[in-house]
Amino acid sequence: MKKEIDQRIRLAVIAILALLFVVLAFDAYTAYNLPTEVTHEVTVLTYTHSGDPYYDVCLKPNDLYGTTTMGPGNTYFRKITERIDAAFGYEFTCDRDAEITCEYDVTAYVASGDEWEKCYVLVPQTTFNSSGRSATFTEDLRIDLAHYEEVLSDISDEIGVRAQNPTLTIKYNIHTIARTNVGDVDEFYTPSLVIPLNKNVFTIESNADEKTGSIKTKKTIIKQNVKSRRTYSTAAAVLILISLILFVSLTRDTETAVGKAEKEIRSAKKKYGDWIADATDVPVEIGQSVITLRSLGDLVKVAEELGKPIIQKNQDYYIFDGSMRYEYRSVVNEEGRD
């Protein structure tokens, strides 16, 4: 038997359970669309190549400066310049212990713009090894500008073309390999000095920008909170759905029986209104003989035969004829009495 509950309370409970189910189902749907794993790129090693191409321009005795050496970043006059003494320092550093191997050589390029260039090896390939987090070396050079200007003149005479914007470029060709437990570094670093040739007044261009790099790896993070959310939301949604189905199946509105009874009363009045009279109270005498009829229609037939009105109280209908009482009790009313 279904349990009767006030209609408003029953509908409110159904609405609340339905709303909870929708919210939990949507939360579960959202959780299942979220990734349970997230991959991040993590830096496991950083490293730096740095070069310091220091040089001194050595001057002939002169009255202009009162000195025979000038450091970097100045303007120089070729007529009083004797040579250039370069001292290059290189350092490789990283933030993990490594086995480091450096190979380097130094070359000089005499060039006429983009037309031609000639290469000279100043320092042949040299290799050194180091362990730890850094490796360094220094290399000193003496650059004779007169020698390279003579080379430039000889080549120009040989090819019959005067050099355009001739330069002398000193390149430090460095190849560094660093082996670590998180990966290897294998890179080239090429700082340089660029010196104009055949110029009465010149400056020296230094190209030795610091070069940095890193080794990265991918790290996967398990999002346990998403897995838990999936489980709890799904379980709660299923539980609420079962509760909703059971509540709807095992309960009914208390107004259902009354609604059916009122419908029957209206139908009876419409059909047999001329024979039915409403009563607020019906006295029942002791000792009356009672005849119960199967339908209201049968009771109407008796009323017509006896010429007596039908007295109605709620869903009960009576005809009184002396010591006899004819009655019909609505089936709906009987159900309502259960």
CATH topology of domain 43-220: Immunoglobulin-like (2.60.40)
Angstrom CA distances, 108 to 170, 199, 311, stand at 5, 18, 130
Per-residue confidence band for 6, with pLDDT thresholds at 50, 70 and 90: confident
The pLDDT value recorded for residue 260 is: 58
Domain ranges of the chain: 3-36+223-252, 43-220, 255-336
The beta-carbon contacts of 191-196 under 8 Å, at least 24 apart in sequence, are: 191/51, 191/53, 191/88, 191/90, 192/53, 193/53, 193/55, 193/86, 193/169, 194/167, 194/168, 194/169, 195/84, 195/143, 195/145, 195/167, 195/168, 195/169, 195/170, 196/165, 196/166, 196/167, 196/168
Interatomic CA distance for residues 71 and 120, integer angstroms? 25
Look-up of token digits 């050099």: 163
DSSP state of 191: -
Using the predicted structure, report yes or no on whether residue 308 has a pLDDT greater than 50.
Answer: yes
The pLDDT value recorded for residue 200 is: 95
- β-bridge mates for residue 179, sequence order: 99, 184
The pLDDT value recorded for residue 87 is: 94
DSSP state of 306: H
**Dihedral (C-alpha) 246, 249, 251, 252: value to the nearest 10 degrees?**
150
Look-up of token digits 């040579």: 83
Interatomic CA distance for residues 17 and 248, integer angstroms? 10
Per-residue confidence band for 255, with pLDDT thresholds at 50, 70 and 90: low
pLDDT single digits (tens) 26-37: 999 999 998 888
The pLDDT value recorded for residue 238 is: 94
> Mean pLDDT throughout 72-97?
95
pLDDT single digits (tens) 268-298: 777 777 778 888 777 777 778 888 888 878 8
How would you classify the pairing of strands 192-196 and 183-189?
unpaired
Using the predicted structure, report yes or no on whether residue 39 has a pLDDT greater than 70.
Answer: yes
| Cβ atoms 245, 71 nearer than 8 A | no
Amino acid at 159: I
Per-residue confidence band for 262, with pLDDT thresholds at 50, 70 and 90: low
> Mean pLDDT throughout 181-200?
95
| Cβ atoms 88, 226 nearer than 8 A | no
Using the predicted structure, report yes or no on whether residue 335 has a pLDDT greater than 60.
Answer: no
Measured at the CA of 164, the angle between CA 166 and CA 154, to 5 degrees, comes to 65
Using the predicted structure, report yes or no on whether residue 338 has a pLDDT greater than 70.
Answer: no
Angstrom CA distances, 277 to 135, 143, 327, stand at 117, 134, 14
